[in-house]
Structure formats: C-alpha cells, structure tokens
Amino acid sequence: DTEVTQTPKHLVMGMTNKKSLKCEQHMGHRAMYWYKQKAKKPPELMFVYSYEKLSINESVPSRFSPECPNSSLLNLHLHALQPEDSALYLCASSQEGNTIYFGEGSWLTVV
Amino acid sequence: AQSVTQLGSHVSVSEGALVLLRCNYSSSVPPYLFWYVQYPNQGLQLLLKYTSAATLVKGINGFEAEFKKSETSFHLTKPSAHMSDAAEYFCAVSDLRNDYKLSFGAGTTVTVRA
C-alpha cells in the first residue's frame, strides 16, 4: 500500500484566516515532504521532515508553518496568505534515500 | 548539481500509436530516475523508477523506460496509446549528493487523438 492521504481536498480562505492542511501516511516512511505546485509547472519542494525533525526548509515564507506531530502525520499551518499562494499543495513520504510517494493534494484558493 | 531536461512540452499522439517522451539528466553520481504521471486535478502517481538494477524498467499501465548512461537519458515509452494516457508526465532525478531531493523536469503534456 503506497497511500498518502491529504485533507481537505479543497480549501478557500481569506487573507486574514488561519487554516491547516493535513497529511497522513501509514507506510512507516521516515521522511515526509510538502511541495507546492502551480498550474502547468512541476512541484516545488517546501519542507522536508526526517525522523520527525525539520531537515530542509527551502526558504519558505513564515506564513507557512509546518508541523510533524508524529511519524505518520504532517501538517501545514497557513496564516496571512496572499492570493499568489493559491496552488496545489502536495504531501509526500519516503523511506530515506528511496522513492517518494505523493498524495492527491489539497487545492488552496486564497481570496 | 543534478538536473532534468524533458524535450517537448507537449506531445500529441493518435490512439494506438507509440508514445515516446524524452528525458535527459545530469548528475555527478549514479542517479535514481523516476517518471511520474499527473492526471487532471490529481496528485502525482509513480509510473516507474530506475535505481541501478536493470536498465530496462517496466512500470504501470504498460509504460517502460530505458536507462542509457552513455546518453544520460531515461526516455519513457508505451507501444500503444490509450485515451486514458492523456495527462502530464514528469521525469525526475535524485542522488546521494543532494540528499535524494527530487529535481523535476518541466513536464510533458500528452494528448491522445481518437
């Protein structure tokens, strides 16, 4: 089973709202990722967690705040976003140094 | 640094025809190579991967890819296109020197004509 589950599938939020995206995997993978994807573009890496610790932050603005409560869960907290942050947000997981498996994504619209 | 070039941003094929998507990579160490497919309004699904075993890799949905080190290529093929193959295809590379971070190509959109 190579399933990464993301909720919600669609989210519309105002620029003053606080919301969260959630991700779950039960494959025992030790690395989890957040990617951002704009239309007709490849995914861009945002954050990497390895063994529940943040290992890579690709210079992402602080209005995006990741959290890894345990080895199966990954959250992305959103606050004071801008319309240009509207995108598909993809969660992924992998055993370190191996294949990365993606979820179905959360479509975010900032109004 | 590792990188990927996908030749052709858009490929149009007739149903039943050969699908050929080109991918060239650069990496200073032995790479891991991947093809992902993204259907409209969905996430990325792994089609196949090369991780230094057999050079001809078979994936899901009838796709296969051949790793050619001398040409630094990892082209994706399917002998007979189906309407359901219409999607965006991404080639990606990772290696040890970059902590196995994925570098994606720009993507190729495949349309299938009836």
How does pLDDT run across B33-79, given as a tens digit for each residue? Answer: 999 999 998 999 999 999 877 889 999 999 999 999 999 999 999 99
pLDDT more than 90, % of chain B:
75
Mean of all residue pLDDT scores within chain B: 92
Which pLDDT score is estimated for B52? 78
* Structure tokens given for B31: 């790479």
Say if B59 is an interface residue toward chain A (CB within 8 Å): no
By C-alpha distance, the chain A residue nearest B6 is A42
Give the whole-angstrom CA distance, residue B92 versus residue A69: 29
Q: How far is CA B53 from the centre of its chain?
A: 17
Stretch B12-34: mean pLDDT, rounded?
92
Residues of B in contact with A48 (CB under 8 A): 101
DSSP A48-100: EEETTEEEEE-S--TTEEEEEEETTEEEEEEES--GGG-EEEEEEEESTTS--
B76 beta partners = B21, B65
Residue by residue, pLDDT tens for chain A (111 residues) are 569 999 999 999 999 999 999 999 989 999 999 999 999 899 999 999 999 999 989 999 999 999 999 999 999 999 999 999 999 999 999 986 678 999 999 999 999
The residues, any chain, with a CB within 8 Å of residue A37's CB and separated by 6 or more, are A43, A44, A87, A88, A89, A90, A105
Chain A residues inside the 8 Å CB shell of B94:
100
Whether the CB-CB separation of B3 and B93 falls below 8 Å is answered with yes
> Which of A6, A42, A56 has the CB atom closest to B107's CB atom?
A42
H/E stretch holding B67: strand B64-68
3-state secondary structure of B96: helix
* Strongest mean pLDDT among A55-59, B2-6, B27-31, B72-76: B72-76
Out of A41, A48, A90, the one facing B44 most closely (by C-beta) is: A90
Chain A residues contacting B, CB < 8 Å? 2, 6, 40-43, 45, 48, 55-56, 88, 90, 94, 96-105, 107
Do the chains contact at B106 and A41, CB–CB below 8 Å?
yes
By Cβ distance, the residue of A55, A99, A102 closest to B43 is A102
Which candidate, B1, B19, B3, B33, places its Cα nearest to that of B85?
Answer: B19
* pLDDT the model gives residue A1: 52
Cβ distance of A104 and B34 shorter than 8 Å: no
- pLDDT bracket for residue B95 (50, 70, 90): confident
Distance CA B96, CA A71 (A): 23
Q: The dihedral of CA B37, B42, B43, B45: what is its sign? A: negative
Percent of chain B with pLDDT over 70: 97
Give the gap in angstroms from C-alpha B45 to the nearest C-alpha of chain A.
7
